[in-house]
């Protein structure tokens, strides 16, 4: 059954939330052998693993990762303000992840010295990671620009669905995405990658299934008159072309050949 643009926009938001919760019990398993062992007990349905296998933190199955929780806060802000309101988003993010919250655990302390006692992992509770710690420190210091300048994790891509859904097809969509992302991640690489992902999601929301989506996004990024151009767009194009070159590989084949543990 054909879906409407509105249905696909809602589906993008709900799908992102469900996917985050489904993957949370196996989040951040970097060891391929460990992941293989965990998956061997779950095939063919690894989603919503009843017991967490996360080596860093433990939450109840069905709860969100630190990325999904950020997406929720952003969605809440958009629904209340009807727009990307930086002031409101800062306030809600600090309230959700800051002092006296479930995220406020000793290991998650944004002022914890790096040479402090070695952490005992996994912790019981959610993980407050680098960009959120930097965000809290920047807010506490009264800085206008609260985003972390060095963190370029996946936060932007995982939480931008609501922004794209609200502004899909409108000329300001990419600008709104960048504004929202820089609240916690004021990092150019992160922004460039997130804007590329936003272009993909917008394409699917507006068009539906399309085997030519990759070519469409590449055409946008190669357009000298593109909206919200970034200095790193050429690097993003190279990454997308790398994906094209590896589409025929399975995950077990791809990861060892392209990625290495650090």
Neighbouring C-beta atoms of residue 10, cutoff 10 Å: 14
Q: Mind giving me the DSSP string for 27-86?
A: TT---HHHHHHHHHTTTT--TT-SS---SSEE--BTB--HHHHHHHHHHHHHHHHSS--H
- Residue 196: predicted pLDDT: 98
Residue 116: predicted pLDDT: 74
Domain architecture of the chain: domains with CATH: 5-187 (1.10.4080.10)
Phi then psi for residue 102, to 5 deg, are -65, -20
Residues sharing a CB contact under 8 Å with residue 44, sequence separation 6 or more, in sequence order: none
Chain segment 68-98, per-residue pLDDT in tens: 999 999 999 999 999 999 999 999 999 999 9
Q: Could you read off the pLDDT of 11-68 as tens digits, one per residue?
A: 999 999 999 999 999 999 988 889 889 988 877 788 999 999 999 999 999 999 999 9
What tens digit of pLDDT does each residue of 96-140 get? 999 999 999 999 999 998 777 788 999 999 999 999 999 999 999
**pLDDT band, very low/low/confident/very high, at 262 (cuts 50, 70, 90):** very low
Average pLDDT over residues 204-212: 96
> Taking Cα atoms as reference points, which of 43, 94, 87 lies closest to residue 180?
87
Q: Is 12 exposed, middle or buried (0-12, 13-18, 19+ CB in 10 A)?
A: buried
- Residues 166 and 205: beta-carbon distance below 8 Å: no
Spell out the residues 6+ positions from residue 71 whose beta carbon is closer than 8 angstroms to its own.
16, 17, 20, 64, 158, 159, 161, 162
């Amino acid at each position: 059954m054909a879906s409407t643009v509105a249905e696909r926009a809602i589906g993008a938001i709900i799908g992102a939330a469900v996917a985050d919760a489904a993957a949370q019990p196996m989040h951040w398993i970097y060891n391929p052998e460990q992941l293989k062992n965990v998956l061997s007990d779950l095939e063919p349905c690894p989603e919503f693993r009843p017991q967490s296998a996360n080596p860093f933190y433990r939450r109840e199955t069905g709860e969100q990762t630190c990325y999904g929780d950020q997406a929720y806060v952003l969605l809440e802000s958009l629904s209340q303000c009807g727009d990307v309101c930086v002031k409101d988003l800062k306030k809600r993010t600090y309230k959700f992840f800051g002092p006296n919250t479930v995220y406020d655990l000793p290991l998650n302390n944004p002022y914890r010295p790096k040479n402090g006692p070695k952490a005992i992992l996994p912790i019981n509770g959610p993980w407050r990671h680098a960009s959120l710690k930097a965000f809290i420190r920047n807010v506490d210091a009264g800085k206008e620009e609260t985003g972390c300048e060095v963190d370029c994790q996946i936060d932007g891509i995982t939480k931008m669905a609501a922004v794209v859904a609200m502004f899909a097809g409108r000329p300001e969509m990419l600008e709104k995405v960048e504004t929202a992302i820089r609240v916690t991640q004021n990092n150019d690489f992160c922004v460039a990658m997130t804007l590329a992902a936003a272009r993909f999601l917008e394409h699917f929301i507006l068009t539906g299934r399309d085997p030519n989506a990759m070519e469409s996004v590449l055409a946008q990024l190669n357009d000298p008159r593109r909206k919200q151009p970034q200095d790193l767009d050429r690097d993003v194009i190279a990454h997308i072309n790398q994906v094209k070159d590896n589409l025929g590989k399975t995950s077990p084949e791809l990861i060892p050949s392209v990625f290495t543990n650090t």
